[in-house]
Chain A
Amino acid sequence: MSASMTRTDALVAFLARMLITWRRPLGILFLLITVGLGFSATHTRLDPGFNKLIPMSHPYMKAFLEYSGVFSGANRIMLSVRWKGEGDIYNPEFMQALHKVTDEVFFTPGINRGEVRSLYTPNVRYIEVTEDGFTGDVVIPSHFEADATGLAQVRANVAKSGQIGRLVANDLKSALVQADLLEINPQTGQKLDYASVAEKLEAIRTRHAGKNIDIQIVGFAKVMGDVMAGLSTVVAFFAIAFAVTTLLLWLYSRSIRLTLLAITVALLPVIWLLGVLPLIGYGIDPMSVLVPFLIFSIGVSHAVQMTNAWKQDVLDGQTAMDAAEGAFRKLAIPGTMALLANALGFLVIMLIDIPIVRELGITACLGVGIMIMTNKMFMPIVLSHLRLERMALGAPTEPGGRHGLWWKLSALSLPRPALATFAVMLVLLAGATWESRHLQTGDVGSGVPELRPDSRYNRDNAQIIRDYSIGMDVLSVYVDTENLTEACLDWKVMNAVERFDFHMRGVEGVQSVSTVAGLAKLYAAGNNEANPRWAGLQRTEAALRTGAARAANPEFGLNSPGCKTINLLVYLKDHQGPTLAHVVKEVRRFIDAETTPGVHFRLAGGNAGVAAATNEAVEQAEVQMLVSIFGAITLLCWITFRSWRAVLCVIVPLVLVTIMCNALMALLGIGLKVATLPVIALGVGVGVDYGIYIYERLQHEMADRGCDLREAFYEAMRQRGTAAVFTAVTMSIGVGTWAFSALKFQADMGILLAFMFLVNVLGAIFLLPALAVWLGVGETRQRRTTALVAP
């Protein structure tokens, strides 16, 4: 190799020597660690959770967490029992099924039994206004018999209960059982087991659905259950990715030994990582389940680079041991830099202030850290013991003359062909930039974003929205009151609530508003024979009390006892990003203009509140994340290459691909959200590898051999290009398998990551040489050679 050595090179050479000298004890140590962590990995558990999806330090979520214990309903499940037969629900078969489903939901562990609501529960009553005043009772009397009289009685009671559209479908063909889940079981103190709740609900469906009865189930617990079920398919994807990668590796190396070695070494960090997670108290959630794929893919990519370097030396006639030492020496710097860039990518996604993303970042960083050890240390140890098969020796990696394809491609480092590259690039840039402006923050489309639009859950959800008048997308705004024992009997407070109610009804995107003031007006009218002209909040406390005292029942979930806190429910038409942003902006406008003393409005809760906060966190994190990742990678490149030209050659293609990724999202209707924001960082972090590997070789070739740019680029491509393309393809396949996941967000992530991995290698191959020549990399070589390689 080169006669002149920098201090870094000397250190690397020393480490390489130590590694090979101590290869036996080190090898045994690695094996022992693998066995130990492999055992620990069997304890890895699934760890989803409602709170992990919440941007904890967002001001909205502070209010939400403060009040989520007071107001139930954030974690609600609903079962709609639907009658498929003739006529409506008032028949013996349906009523019996509804009764049984109600009972079974009631006895499901984790259910807050006092909050279960259905026609069969005692908290559902009807009220009738007559000439003599109010009468009222439970909707289904305790002595109910499903005969003609009994059914007629129930039909009349339901009509008077105001539950049509709420607990009974508008078309009278189905009825709801509604229940809230307790995050912590009050008896055992244990955390709610979503999987088991979802399983029990599914069992209820299996038992009662039949020829005449169908059951739709919605709620966060069911989503979690379906997501976990979807996770099991991930194992199958891993198997497919594994098989395809193995096959490609064999085709590439023509050596079973090298294939097995690369696969094994790539699997090691996965096993270690899964072993470490239980030790630090982490689990696998629907998002971090993707980390093993990534680690495996990145592991394969680095293993290929190393086996490739080793093989070339072996083919040059060196011994396996010397070749292993050489491979370590050659790849220690670019490999570690590339892995550090990966780690940086994972690190910056922790800027997104959402626990599930933070855990993804930590888990992935950990994985990359482990990989630096396993790949860069364990791999040379094994290689030093390895002997190549005959078939691999005859592999066409070293034909007599030039590698035809790479030589032709290297023409791109000549000024004129480079201009053609630029022309293509500018067209892509213009198109992508224009399209990327259409990217939306938040969810696109209706239904639950975690699952596909045509999933059973989303079809159930759509059916329930069609059948009932209740919205699924709720924004909670909280009102804190001061120094009042009964704030709901204070006209000023109630008037502020009423004005909020009124203002929000005029906002586009709002379906309806439910507040204690609205309810109080309804009761005030009810108290006056349901005359709508009495539906007002009177200033006199005695008059206000007629409606407000009954409306302010904490059981309705619209206020806490004494109305210390009032919960304003704004039902939205959908939970798409722009809708949420607009509604939240209007809420803010109201709050800013509100001056009633002792009354504080606070955003926000409900699933729409969580989504709005998440979108804000994501939007805020986007620029931060981009600046950090590009800043960090720029710095890293500069440290590696000590040349601003190199930095630009590596960064510019990355920027182009990042813009194109945003354009692709807009084109495919994928929103910028918790699941897709990390993709950019991951894609940039991994995509920079190719540029680093290729430019590092290019720089070395020019410095060591003094050849011109085209020759140097050709050499870089010959030595590293094939491996780079190969790894890009295998990694894209590895993550691309997710595109078939039952989970929408995994599919989105898979498609985007595959795009980033694949297109980044194209950027490095086509754009990097063109930039190099037009940034004058070749010209300055003569002048800078001495400086560059001076010790």
Chain B
Amino acid sequence: MRTHVGMALTAVVAAAGIFAFSPRSTPQFRPTDLPVDKMQLNSLARTQAGLVAAGELGKILVSRDDGRSWQPAHLPQDRQAVITRMVFAGNGTGLALGHEGWILRSADGGRSWQESAFTQSNGEPLMSAARLPSGEWLAIGAFGRVLKSTDDGHSWTPHEIPGLSDWHLNSIAGSADGQQWLIAGEAGTLLRSDDGGRNWNVVPPFYNGSIYGTADLGGGRWVAYGMRGKVFHSEDGGRSWQASSMPGPISTYGHAVGADGSLLLAGQGGMVLASHDGGRSFNIVRKEGRASLTGLQALGDGSWLLSSDGGLQRYRPTTHAAAATRPSISGASS
């Protein structure tokens, strides 16, 4: 009997030993996720689906909670080509454009996408697109390529615009009334249209570098922004351009317009610049980090969500800058 007690005790010690030295659990780590704060994002938009961001390896992300969490959008093919820009038109159609002539189409604000073009070999990057008042779409890209769709983005055919060379084209944008249009690109390339994009005229080059985007400020006032701190403004619908005053040689890649007419440019060195005088002069309102910013969206709480080549960043502007943009921001990365 006595021996049984000793044996039981021995068994308890043995069991404790086995338990103590059995494989130990390691601390729990957050499951691996899309690196939204470390990935290259070229475009950020707000749609009826929420916030939509896209970029590296053809990833498109959707957030329904103002950027706190992100879910991948539904894509039929994993093409792994960079998405350069998303455009959402007034009729609810959205397009995503990428390298390798890739075009995706969404009818639900970016939650799900169908492929409408992809070049299997020798594809080139597409950079931007726009839906003209006629209902036709124009897509533009590298080496002066222009594509046209007459079926709301389902199918695409090459299109010729007289006067274009093979310089890269970076952006196509229209005025709020849909009449004035600008196509901007490399080596000072700028085309303008006064008739809703039917006919295009070449604006004589006033700059030999790249123009990355143009912003309509209403009433025929436009701003064109490009590399190394080169920003120009026009007050006659884009016919003539004057250099704007910039605080440094900062390349800018995206813009946002507040309802009060103030213009924000996002660019190199994590910088956001603001103009309150119709684009004549800009001052730095945010300078943080080394990323190149590509887009900007105002969030419900007054802070900004910025897309960059180094991921999404959140920034709470100082009250002065916030007041200027509070009403709402549109067309961050159009």
Contacts and interface: CB of A to CB of B under 8 A. Distances in A.
A502 B39 contact: yes
B228 A131 contact: yes
Interface of A: 129-131, 164-165, 415, 422, 425-426, 429-430, 432-433, 436-441, 495, 498-499, 502-503, 505-509, 512, 521, 525, 528-536, 538-540, 543, 577-578, 581-582, 586, 589, 622-623, 626, 648, 652, 655-656, 658-659, 662, 771, 773-776, 779
A509 B125 CA distance: 34
Contacts of B13: 429, 652, 655-656
B20 A533 contact: no
Interface of B is mostly: loop
Contacts of A499: 57, 80
A538 B102 CA distance: 12
Contacts of A771: 6, 9-10
A502 B12 contact: no
A623 B21 contact: yes
Contacts of B32: 503, 506-508, 586, 589
Interface stretch (B173-181, B190-198, B207-215, B276-284): B207-215
Contacts of A658: 17
Contacts of A578: 26-27, 29
Interface of A is mostly: helix
Interface stretch (B81-89, B129-137, B153-161, B237-245): B81-89
7 contacts: A425-B9, A437-B24, A506-B32, A532-B40, A532-B309, A535-B40, A626-B21
Question: What are the 9 closest A-B residue pairs judged by CB atoms, nearest first?
Answer: A536-B82, A774-B6, A775-B6, A505-B35, A131-B209, A506-B35, A776-B3, A533-B84, A532-B309
B20 A659 contact: yes
A528 B141 CA distance: 13
A533 B123 contact: no
Contacts of A506: 32-35, 38
B164 to A, nearest CB: 18
A751 B159 CA distance: 80
Contacts of A536: 56, 81-82, 99, 125
A604 to B, nearest CB: 18
B296 to A, nearest CB: 14
Given A532-B42, A589-B32, A774-B2, 18 more contacts: A131-B208, A426-B12, A433-B16, A437-B19, A437-B25, A440-B24, A499-B57, A503-B32, A506-B34, A506-B35, A530-B251, A532-B294, A533-B127, A534-B125, A543-B124, A578-B27, A652-B9, A662-B20
Contact of B227 (A529, A540, A586, A589): A529
Contacts of B292: 530, 532
A429 B99 contact: no
Contact of A540 (B5, B10, B121, B170): B121
A505 B39 contact: yes
Given A530-B292, A538-B99, A538-B125, A436 B20 contact: yes
Interface in B278-331: 290, 292, 294, 308-309
A586 B29 CA distance: 11
Contacts of B168: 528
Contacts of B33: 506
Nearest to B85: A533
Given A536-B82, A582-B26, A531 B57 contact: no
B157 to A, nearest CB: 22
Given A536-B81, A659-B17, A774-B5, A509 B34 contact: no
Nearest to B1: A776
B113 interface: no
A334 to B, nearest CB: 23
Interface string B37-58: 0111010000000000000110
B39 A509 contact: no
Given A506-B35, A648-B10, A658-B17, A529 B121 contact: no
Contacts of B3: 774-776, 779
Contact of B309 (A129, A512, A535, A779): A535
A773 B19 CA distance: 27
Contacts of A130: 228
A142 to B, nearest CB: 26
Contacts of A779: 2-3
Contacts of B170: 531, 533
A732 to B, nearest CB: 23
A18 to B, nearest CB: 42
Contact of A437 (B7, B20, B27, B290): B20
B91 interface: no
B14 interface: yes
B6 A776 contact: yes
B30 A508 contact: yes
Interface in B73-102: 80-82, 84-85, 99-100
Nearest to A779: B2
A753 B25 CA distance: 26
Nearest to B37: A505
A445 B263 CA distance: 48
B122 interface: yes
Contact of B80 (A441, A495, A533): A495
B98 to A, nearest CB: 8
B334 to A, nearest CB: 14
Contacts of B14: 655
B189 interface: no
A658 B18 CA distance: 11
B253 interface: yes
A128 to B, nearest CB: 10
